[in-house]
Each structure stands twice: as structure tokens, then as C-alpha cells.
């Protein structure tokens, strides 16, 4: 059996310089490595991804001939893709995160943005060039007849490129974002949309976390390409064993003790997110404000812990959003707080053990994205929570499909409804909390990263890259 190949923008390893100047690999950030890592390690997969920082580039250069593959101790085999930094920035910041992310999540502020001018055409050319570099790297290293698992919107054109360059490969593309309606997609320039959808469907099959996103994608393809794509649905799962080990670690227990001292005997609302427009952080705070307005009995009795850390700092919108988050927290703490009680504790440090400690301690976990491909935090909380806490969950998250019936559902735009759901969760009687928390943990535990990996491989195996229809 040829080794499978995983292809993603961000890879499983990130290199840095150790104290002695040597290059040290660490596990890369983000949900992709959590969900795909165990299957890739078990299968001995080759992972093709971009060399992101200087240390990554040096590690890539050190890998040398003949295959340019970096072998790490924990079983990952990494094939770095090294691209020109200016071209990479246009591909990543302008096209992938500045346009495709906004489009699929419905984030645009249409009276003002986007503005697709001549710079867009240059950026799109960079997107095409970086996709081509990924396709070349796969074409040069994949064994004959390999299964190739392409990941996400960064690599929308690679499927069609591989079909031309290596028709022997069995390829699928998995999209971790939601997908949008043809009307929302039509905001992108016509030629970009047509090239994107043709590129994506060039992979044998296109997968999503939820049937909602797969249906929307198929609708876009019918509208733009006049043909139905081969799609599949396979929701990813978090690694429960790994997460429970982190929750039981000494580092996490120390963070939990510190959090306990801070919160005391009050109830705790928690959110754990990147500072990301789609996460709807501001409306979460406004819902808390409305809760304190309408429920005087809760003043001084509840703390909102916001464990939110910076992301995509290359985009001005994200910097501005981070500033707004800080401003709203200051405003609400000044409005409601006193010497004894800080209503909102904002923690912008990306401290994984502290975030997991917060997931152990919550009474209410607020997951209220505007639109989300899946949302792993809603899976992680119920696995480690010590207090039979309740999940308040946006119906626009892909994970709603499996966890919605055991959560309190909200329309993420409705601040009043969010405040009411948080109040209902805080008021829940212990027996109702316990029963719902047990059902949630069971629903999460029914899925695993290895099962998800098998689903991706099965979907790719049903087709070949030269056959765009299942
Ligand atoms: C989130 C999304 C993924 C995406 C990733 C990229 O986790 O759910 O769809 O691939 O962000 O994050 P990055 O930090 O690499 O831009």
C-alpha cells in the first residue's frame, strides 16, 4: 500500500531555535493537527505543508536531497513547501483569509468591503502560484496510486492541478469552513469563483463537516459550473485521550487552582476562542451585559472568563476587532465591577493548559459563532468538564448537528436570546445539568480522530483524481 499524503497550508510541525541554537520541532498550532494527526501518524502519512517562519525554512533547507523530507521524532514525515514570502502573503492574507474566509463565513461588511480591484488579480495570481507549488510538491513525492487528502480553502486549486499532473492519485479535498449560498459566493469576481469551484471539484470528492455546508457547495457548483459535484460529509472529532491527559496534567491542575482562587464560589461562564470575527465575541459580552441588566441577583455571583487569543494579525480587521474586544471588556467591567468582583476576566495569552483548566471549571460554555465549519471547543468542553456544565451553542456551528439536542441552542445574532439561554443554563437544577452533561459527553465520545481519518480515506478511495464524479 502506498503511503497516504496529507496536504495543508499549516502543517503538523513548527520549528523554532532552541537555547543552544539548534532547530527544535514542536507540534503546530490549530485544530487540523489535533484531528488529522493521530490518523496520519498511524498511517505513516507524508504531510506536505508550507514552511511558515524562518526556522521552518532553515529546517526545510537542511532536509536536503534527494526527497527534501524532514523526519521528526514523533513519527511525522514532513515535506515542506517553500514559497516566496511576498507571494505567500498575497495567497494567505489577501485571498485565503481576506476573501475566501469572509465569503464562506458571511463576514463581509458589504457597503464598505470587499473591493476587488486590479490588486485582487495580482493576489489571485499568487494564490494560483502557491497552489501550483503545493501541487508540484505532491506530484514529485507521492508514491504511485497514493491517496491524497487535501485540506481547506487555502488549497482550492490543487485538486484540478493534480488531476492533470498525476492522474494515478486518489484525491479528496476536505473543507473545514462552512460554505455559503450562491448569492454570497457571487460577491467574489466571476472569474475567481469559476476557477475556484472548478479547482475544488477537480479533486475526486469534496468533504465538509456538515450536510448544510455540502449542500450549499453543491448549490454553488450547480449555479456556476452547471454541474453537481461529488461531495461527502464527515464531521471531525477531537482526540479525547490526548485532551484528558492534558486535563489531568500537573500544569493544568495548577492553572485550575489559580482559576478557583479567582472565581471563588461564583458560577463561571467560559469561552475559549481565537480572536476571530466569526466567533462573535462582542455579542457574547453584550449578552452578559443584558444578563446583568435583567438579573440583579446574578450581579457579583457570576464571572465571565474569556480565554481569547490573537490570530491572523496580518489582517487590519483582526487587529481592530481585538481592540474592540478589549474596549468592550473595559467598559463592562467599569459599568458592573467593584473592588470584590471583576465581571469579565479577559485572558489574551495563548496558554493551552489554562484554556483546558477553564474547560474543566465552567458552569456555562458559550460557543456562539456567526457561522462555523464545526467547532472543536464545543466537543472538548464536555469531555473534561468537572461541574456538569451546560453548553450554550450557536445553531450556525457545524457541531450543532451532533450536539444541538443536548445543548441550549441560540441564534448567534440575537443578544437577548443569548442572555436568556445563559440565564437558563445558570439556573439549571443539578439533576438536569448532570443528565445533559452526560448525554453531551456520550455524543462527543461516539467519534474519534481515527474514525474520521478512515472516513476521509474511504471517500478518496471511491474515486481517482482523473474522475471528478463519484
Ligand atoms: C481554523 C479553521 C480551519 C483553518 C485554520 C487556519 O482552525 O477552522 O479551517 O484551516 O483555522 O488557521 P491558520 O491559523 O493556519 O490561519
Helix (H) or strand (E) holding 86: helix 85-89
CA 339–ligand 1 middle distance (angstroms): 39
Q: What is the pTM of this model?
A: 0.96
Give me the pLDDT at residue 180, please.
98
For residue 142, give the DSSP letter. P
Q: Which residues contact 65 (CB under 8 A, 6 or more apart)?
A: none
Same fold, 5-236+451-462 and 240-446: yes
CA 331–ligand 1 middle distance (angstroms): 30
**Residues 358, 305 contacting (CB under 8 angstroms):** yes
Out of 8, 14, 32, give the residue to mutate to test ligand 1, the one with the largest number of ligand atoms within 8 Å of its CB. Answer: 32
**Residues 213, 244 contacting (CB under 8 angstroms):** no
Q: Which residues contact 420 (CB under 8 A, 6 or more apart)?
A: none
Q: Helix/strand/coil (H, E, C) string of 31-65? A: HHHHHHHHHHHHHCCEEEEECCCHHHHHHHHHHCC
CA 30–ligand 1 middle distance (angstroms): 7
Domain 5-236+451-462 classification at class level: alpha beta
Q: Which residues contact 398 (CB under 8 A, 6 or more apart)?
A: 178, 208, 209, 210, 212, 213, 235, 372, 373, 374, 375
CA 392–ligand 1 middle distance (angstroms): 23
* Nearest ligand 1 atom, CA 30: 7
Domain 240-446 classification at class level: alpha beta
Q: Say yes or no: CB of residue 31 within 6 Å of ligand 1.
A: yes
Nearest-CA residue for ligand 1 atom 9 is 176
CA 11–ligand 1 middle distance (angstroms): 11
Q: Say yes or no: CB of residue 37 within 6 Å of ligand 1.
A: no
**Residues 468, 230 contacting (CB under 8 angstroms):** yes
Q: What residues of the chain score a pLDDT lower than 70?
A: 64-66, 464-470
Phi, psi at 173, each rounded to 5°: -120, 125
Q: Say yes or no: CB of residue 369 within 6 Å of ligand 1.
A: no
Q: Say yes or no: CB of residue 103 within 6 Å of ligand 1.
A: no
* Nearest ligand 1 atom, CA 10: 15
Tens-digit pLDDT profile for residues 119-157: 999 999 999 999 999 999 999 999 999 999 999 999 999
- Show me where the domains of the chain are located: 5-236+451-462, 240-446
Give me the pLDDT at residue 469, please.
39
Helix (H) or strand (E) holding 78: strand 77-81
CA 101–ligand 1 middle distance (angstroms): 9
**Residues 420, 293 contacting (CB under 8 angstroms):** no
Q: How many degrees, rounded to 5, is the angle at CA 181 between CA 180 and CA 185? A: 75
Give me the pLDDT at residue 212, please.
98
Angle, nearest 10°, between helix axes 240-248 and 377-384?
A: 50
Give me the pLDDT at residue 64, please.
65
Out of 9, 11, 29, 30, give the residue to mutate to test ligand 1, the one with the largest number of ligand atoms within 8 Å of its CB. Answer: 30
Tens-digit pLDDT profile for residues 323-369: 999 999 999 999 999 999 999 999 999 899 999 999 999 999 999 99
Out of 7, 10, 178, 276, give the residue to mutate to test ligand 1, the one with the largest number of ligand atoms within 8 Å of its CB. Answer: 10
Give me the pLDDT at residue 67, please.
76
Amino acid at each position: 500500500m502506498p503511503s497516504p499524503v496529507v496536504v495543508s497550508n499549516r502543517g503538523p510541525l513548527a520549528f523554532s531555535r532552541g537555547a543552544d541554537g539548534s532547530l527544535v520541532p514542536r507540534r503546530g498550532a490549530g485544530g487540523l493537527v489535533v484531528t488529522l494527526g493521530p490518523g496520519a501518524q498511524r498511517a505513516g502519512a507524508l504531510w506536505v505543508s508550507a514552511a511558515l517562519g524562518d526556522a521552518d525554512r532553515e529546517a526545510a533547507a537542511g532536509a536536503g536531497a534527494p526527497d527534501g523530507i524532514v523526519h521528526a521524532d514523533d513519527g511525522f514525515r514532513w515535506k515542506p513547501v517553500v514559497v516566496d514570502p511576498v507571494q505567500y502573503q498575497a495567497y494567505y492574507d489577501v485571498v485565503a483569509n481576506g476573501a475566501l474566509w469572509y465569503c464562506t463565513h458571511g463576514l463581509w461588511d458589504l457597503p464598505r468591503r470587499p473591493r476587488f480591484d486590479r490588486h485582487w488579480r495580482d493576489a489571485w495570481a499568487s494564490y494560483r502560484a502557491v497552489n501550483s507549488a503545493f501541487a508540484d510538491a505532491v506530484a514529485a513525492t507521492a508514491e504511485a496510486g497514493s491517496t491524497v487528502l487535501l485540506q481547506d480553502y487555502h488549497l482550492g486549486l490543487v485538486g484540478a492541478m493534480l488531476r492533470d499532473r498525476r492522474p494515478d492519485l486518489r484525491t479528496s479535498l476536505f473543507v473545514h469552513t462552512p460554505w455559503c449560498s450562491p448569492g454570497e459566493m457571487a460577491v467574489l469576481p466571476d472569474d475567481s469563483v469559476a476557477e475556484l469551484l472548478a479547482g475544488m471539484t477537480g479533486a475526486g470528492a469534496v468533504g465538509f463537516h456538515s450536510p448544510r455546508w455540502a449542500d450549499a457547495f453543491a448549490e454553488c457548483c450547480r449555479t456556476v459550473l452547471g454541474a453537481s459535484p461529488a461531495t461527502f460529509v464527515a464531521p471531525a472529532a477531537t482526540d479525547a485521550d490526548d485532551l484528558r491527559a492534558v486535563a489531568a496534567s500537573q500544569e493544568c491542575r495548577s492553572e485550575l487552582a489559580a482559576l478557583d482562587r479567582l472565581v471563588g464560589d461564583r458560577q463561571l461562564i467560559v469561552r475559549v476562542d481565537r480572536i476571530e470575527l466569526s466567533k462573535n465575541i462582542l455579542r457574547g459580552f453584550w449578552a452578559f451585559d443584558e444578563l446583568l441588566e435583567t438579573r440583579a441577583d446574578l450581579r457579583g455571583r457570576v464571572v465571565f472568563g474569556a480565554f481569547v487569543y490573537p490570530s491572523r494579525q496580518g489582517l487590519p480587521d483582526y487587529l481592530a476587532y481585538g481592540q474592540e474586544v478589549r474596549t468592550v471588556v473595559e467598559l463592562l467591567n467599569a459599568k458592573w465591577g467593584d473592588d470584590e468582583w471583576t465581571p469579565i476576566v479577559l485572558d489574551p495569552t495563548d496558554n493551552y493548559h489554562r484554556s483546558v483548566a477553564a474547560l474543566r471549571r465552567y458552569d456555562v460554555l458559550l460557543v456562539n459563532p456567526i457561522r462555523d465549519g464545526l467547532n472543536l471547543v464545543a466537543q472538548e468542553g464536555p469531555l473534561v468538564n468537572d461541574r456538569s456544565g451546560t453548553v450554550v451553542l450557536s445553531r450556525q456551528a457545524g457541531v450543532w448537528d451532533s450536539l444541538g439536542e443536548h445543548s441550549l441552542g441560540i441564534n448567534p445574532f440575537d443578544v437577548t436570546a443569548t442572555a436568556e439561554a445563559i440565564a437558563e443554563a445558570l439556573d439549571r437544577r443539578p439533576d438536569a445539568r448532570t443528565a445533559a452533561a452526560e448525554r453531551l459527553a456520550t455524543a462527543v465520545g461516539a467519534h474519534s480522530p481515527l474514525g474520521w481519518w478512515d472516513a476521509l480515506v474511504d471517500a478518496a478511495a471511491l474515486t481517482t483524481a482523473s474522475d471528478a464524479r463519484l
